[in-house]
């Protein structure tokens, strides 16, 4: 009986988000790679929202990452287990500093920084 060794799963950024915030990442699982396009979308309920589109299959997931309580995804894996590679992957990219927060959202204007000296 052959014991299966767990195959490492890695996520990599194939294309940095462009001017419209659309980028490409891929998840490698053993010898398989799956490419996804993603675009950050405004998220008013905490965390950061991403529309993730799996290339080739036309499946679109809305993924939210942030604190553990803020994570969500529309895939079956998350519905069943409460975690999935999309949330884990995007979280990893954010932790690596690969997806800097963009100041493009018009619905959420950023407040000017407060300074003590202006009072
Ligand atoms: Zn998912």
How close is the Cα of 33 to the center of ligand 1, in Å?
A: 16
Q: Identify the pLDDT of residue 56.
A: 84
Distance of CA 87 to the CA centre of its chain: 6
How close is the Cα of 64 to the center of ligand 1, in Å?
A: 9
Q: Which residues pair with 25 in a beta bridge?
A: 13, 36
Q: Identify the pLDDT of residue 101.
A: 83
Strands in 9-15's sheet, in edge-to-edge order, are 9-15, 22-29, 32-41, 48-54, 59-65
Q: Identify the pLDDT of residue 111.
A: 52
Answer yes or no: are the C-beta atoms of 82 and 76 closer than 8 Å.
Answer: no
Residues of the chain where predicted confidence (pLDDT) is lower than 70: 1-7, 102-119
How close is the Cα of 108 to the center of ligand 1, in Å?
A: 26
């Amino acid at each position: 009986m052959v014991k299966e060794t767990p195959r490492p799963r890695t996520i990599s950024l194939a294309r940095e988000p462009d001017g419209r915030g659309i980028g490409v990442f891929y998840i490698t699982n053993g010898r398989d790679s799956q490419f996804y396009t993603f675009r950050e979308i405004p998220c008013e309920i905490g965390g950061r929202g991403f529309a993730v589109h799996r290339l080739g299959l036309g499946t679109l997931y809305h993924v939210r990452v942030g604190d553990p309580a803020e994570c969500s995804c529309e895939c079956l894996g998350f519905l069943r287990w409460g975690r999935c590679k999309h949330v884990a992957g995007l979280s990893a990219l954010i932790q690596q500093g690969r997806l800097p927060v963009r100041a493009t959202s018009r619905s959420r204007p950023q407040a000017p920084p407060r300074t003590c000296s202006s009072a």
